[in-house]
C-alpha cells in the first residue's frame, strides 16, 4: 500500500534504505531515489516503465552541493543558476564519475536542478546524497501535480508519497545547456524563454524531435492522455462533435461552451492568466481523461510567455 503524508523523516529513511519516494516540487511531483545508488536508480526506471535511454534529472538542496556531482557551473550558465535557483530550471553540466552512468543514460552531462518546494528542499538538505527524480507518472502519461495523482498510478509500487499540496508551477522545469558557446533550451518549461533571454541574450530553442538522442525527453508523444486528444479551433471542433452526437470533453483556455455538460469541460483560466492555466493544465487533462467521453478537444493558447510551454505540452499530448 502507498501512504501519503507529510513526514520528512519517513521520506528520508525510505530513501536511505534505497527505496523510492514520491516528492513534491514546484513543477510536478517526482519519483525520487538516491541518485548515487545504481539499484535505487534502476528501481526508478522499472517503476515508471521508462526506457533506459531517457536520462534523469538530479536534484540537490543547494547550489553548493552541485559541485560534488558536476565539474561546476559552466560560466555561460552561472548567471541563470543565480537568477532562477531554487526554481523550475534544469541545467546540463559535465558530470563527475560519482554519478552513475545509468542516471545520464551514458551521456557526459548530467541534468541538475535545485527545486524550490520547501518540503523537498528540507528533505534534500537533510540527505547526504542527491535525488534522481523523473516526473512520478508511468512513462508517456501526464505528469502528476498533486499527491493523489501519484498514487492513482503508482499505488502499491512505492511506499510513500510526501504530500506538498498542489504544484505551484504545474509544468516541468525548463532545461538549458550550452554547446560550443551557444545557449540551448532543450525543453520549454516553468521558466519562460523571455526570462532566460533577459539574462543570457540569444538562445536557441531546439525544435521538437523524436529522433534527437541528445534530449530524449523531447519524444513527441509525451504527456499524453489515454483518450484521443484533438487540438484545433474549438469554435469549429465543438459544433462538429456536437453534430456527431459523440460524448466529448473540452479543455479551453478561457471560454465555457454551451450545450456541453459542466463535468465534461474545463476552463484553464477564465481571466486568461497563463500562470493559472499552467497550474491547472495537467490536472485538467487527467480529469477529462477519466470522464465518460471518447475524445478530448482542446485549443492552443497565444504563443507567448508560459503559453509557449503550455502549447508544447498540448501538442505532444495530441501527437500520435
Ligand atoms: O520539473 C522537472 O524537471 C521534473 C521535476 C520532478 O523535477 N522532472 C522531470 O523529469 O520532468 P523527467 O524525467 O520527466 O524529464 C527529464 C528530461 C529527460 O526526458 C531528458 O529530456 C532531460 O530531462 N535530460 C535529463 N538528463 C539529461 C542529460 N544528461 N542530457 C540531456 N537531457 C537530459
Ligand atoms: Mg516526465
Confidence (pTM)? 0.96
> How high is the pLDDT of residue 214?
53
Quote the CA–CA distance of 153 and 52 in Å, as a whole number. 20
Residue 313 lies in a domain: yes
**Beta pairing partners, 231:** 298
Quote the CA–CA distance of 46 and 233 in Å, as a whole number. 39
Other Cβ atoms within 10 Å of 256 Cβ, number: 12
> How high is the pLDDT of residue 63?
94
Residue 311 lies in a domain: yes
> How high is the pLDDT of residue 223?
73
Tell me how many domains the chain contains.
2
The predicted-structure confidence for 177-233, as pLDDT tens digits, reads as follows 999 999 999 999 999 999 999 999 999 999 654 444 455 555 555 678 899 999 999
Quote the CA–CA distance of 219 and 176 in Å, as a whole number. 17
Residue 273 lies in a domain: yes
> How high is the pLDDT of residue 146?
98
Residue 219 lies in a domain: no
Same-domain pairing of 277 and 240: yes
Quote the CA–CA distance of 133 and 55 in Å, as a whole number. 10
Pocket of ligand 1 (CB under 6 A): 25, 27-28, 30, 54-57, 90, 92, 104, 107, 109-111, 113, 115, 133-135, 172-173, 175, 186-187, 214-217
Ligand approaching nearest to the C-alpha of 108: 1
Same-domain pairing of 162 and 259: no
- Which residues in the chain show pLDDT less than 70? 207-222
3-state secondary structure the chain: CCEEECCHHHHHHHHHCCCCEEECCCCCCEEEEECCCHHHHHHHHHHHCCCCCCCCEEECCCHHHHCCCECCCCHHHHHHHHHHCCCCEEEEEEECCCCCHHHHCCCCEEEEECCCCHHHHHHHHHCCCCEECCECCCCCCCCCCCHHHHHHHHCCCCCEEECCCCCCCCCCCEEEEEECCEEEEEECCCCCHHHHHHHHCCCEECCCCCCCCCCHHHCCCCCCCCCCEEECCHHHHHHHHHHHCCCEEEEECCCCCCCCCHHHEEECCCCCCHHHHHHHHHHHHHHHHHCCCCEEEECCCCCCCCHHHHHHHHHHHHCC
Last residue of a domain, one of 205, 237, 263: 205
Same-domain pairing of 122 and 61: yes
Other Cβ atoms within 10 Å of 5 Cβ, number: 12
Same-domain pairing of 155 and 281: no
User: How far, in Å, is the centroid of ligand 2 from the Cα of 143?
Assistant: 6
> How high is the pLDDT of residue 212?
46
Residues 6+ apart with CB under 8 A from 289: 142, 225, 226, 227, 296
Q: Are 252 and 237 in contact, with CB atoms under 8 Å apart?
A: no
Quote the CA–CA distance of 2 and 147 in Å, as a whole number. 11
Residue 223 lies in a domain: no
The predicted-structure confidence for 263-280, as pLDDT tens digits, reads as follows 999 999 999 999 999 999
Indicate the length of the chain as a whole number: 320
Quote the CA–CA distance of 30 and 117 in Å, as a whole number. 12
Q: Are 170 and 278 in contact, with CB atoms under 8 Å apart?
A: yes
Same-domain pairing of 190 and 284: no
* Residue owning the nearest CA to atom 12 of ligand 1: 134
Residue 222 lies in a domain: no
Q: Given ligand 1 and candidates 55, 103, 168, 212, which is best to mutate, with the most ligand atoms within 8 Å of its CB? A: 55
User: How far, in Å, is the centroid of ligand 1 from the Cα of 170?
Assistant: 15
> How high is the pLDDT of residue 213?
45
Same-domain pairing of 73 and 189: yes
Residue 217 lies in a domain: no
Same-domain pairing of 78 and 171: yes
Same-domain pairing of 126 and 180: yes
Q: Are 159 and 170 in contact, with CB atoms under 8 Å apart?
A: no
Ligand approaching nearest to the C-alpha of 44: 1
Same-domain pairing of 93 and 157: yes
Other Cβ atoms within 10 Å of 62 Cβ, number: 13
Q: Which of 197, 190, 206, 224 is nearest to 306 (CA)?
A: 190
Same-domain pairing of 150 and 256: no
Angle between helices 193-200 and 75-84 (to 10 degrees): 130
Q: Given ligand 1 and candidates 92, 134, 223, 282, which is best to mutate, with the most ligand atoms within 8 Å of its CB? A: 134
CATH number at residue 256: 3.40.50.11030
Last residue of a domain, one of 173, 205, 237: 205
CATH number at residue 40: 3.90.870.10
Last residue of a domain, one of 190, 205, 220: 205
Residue 224 lies in a domain: no
Same-domain pairing of 195 and 235: no
- The distance from CA 288 to its chain's CA centroid, rounded to whole angstroms, is 19
Same-domain pairing of 111 and 28: yes
Look up the domain containing 189 and give its range: 3-205
Amino acid at each position: 500500500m502507498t501512504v501519503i503524508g507529510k513526514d520528512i523523516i519517513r521520506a528520508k529513511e525510505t530513501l536511505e534504505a534505497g527505496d523510492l519516494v514520491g516528492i513534491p516540487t514546484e513543477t510536478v511531483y517526482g519519483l525520487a531515489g538516491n541518485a548515487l545508488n545504481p539499484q535505487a536508480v534502476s528501481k526508478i526506471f522499472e517503476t515508471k516503465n521508462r526506457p533506459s535511454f531517457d536520462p534523469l534529472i538530479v536534484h540537490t538542496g543547494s547550489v553548493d552541493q552541485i559541485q560534488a556531482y558536476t565539474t561546476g557551473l559552466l560560466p555561460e550558465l552561472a548567471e541563470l543558476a543565480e537568477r532562477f535557483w531554487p526554481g523550475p530550471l534544469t541545467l546540463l553540466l559535465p558530470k563527475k564519475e560519482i554519478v552513475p552512468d545509468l542516471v545520464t543514460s551514458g551521456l557526459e552531462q548530467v541534468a541538475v536542478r535545485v527545486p524550490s518546494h520547501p518540503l523537498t528542499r528540507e528533505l534534500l538538505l537533510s540527505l547526504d546524497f542527491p535525488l534522481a527524480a523523473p516526473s512520478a507518472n508511468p512513462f508517456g502519461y501526464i505528469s502528476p501535480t498533486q499527491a493523489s495523482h501519484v498514487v492513482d498510478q503508482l499505488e502499491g509500487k512505492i511506499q510513500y508519497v510526501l504530500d506538498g499540496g498542489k504544484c505551484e508551477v504545474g509544468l516541468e522545469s525548463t532545461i538549458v545547456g550550452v554547446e560550443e558557446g551557444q545557449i540551448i533550451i532543450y525543453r520549454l518549461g516553468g521558466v519562460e524563454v523571455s526570462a532566460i533571454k533577459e539574462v543570457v541574450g540569444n538562445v536557441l530553442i531546439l525544435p521538437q524531435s523524436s529522433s534527437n538522442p541528445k534530449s530524449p525527453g523531447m519524444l513527441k508523444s509525451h504527456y499524453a492522455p489515454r483518450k484521443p486528444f484533438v487540438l484545433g479551433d474549438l469554435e469549429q471542433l465543438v459544433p462538429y462533435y456536437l453534430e456527431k452526437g459523440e460524448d466529448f470533453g473540452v479543455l479551453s483556455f478561457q471560454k465555457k461552451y454551451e450545450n456541453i455538460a459542466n463535468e465534461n469541460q474545463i476552463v484553464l483560466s477564465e481571466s486568461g492568466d497563463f500562470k493559472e492555466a499552467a497550474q491547472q493544465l495537467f490536472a485538467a487533462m487527467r480529469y477529462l481523461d477519466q470522464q465518460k467521453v471518447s475524445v478530448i478537444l482542446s485549443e492552443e493558447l497565444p504563443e507567448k510567455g508560459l503559453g509557449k510551454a503550455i502549447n508544447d505540452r498540448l501538442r505532444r499530448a495530441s501527437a500520435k
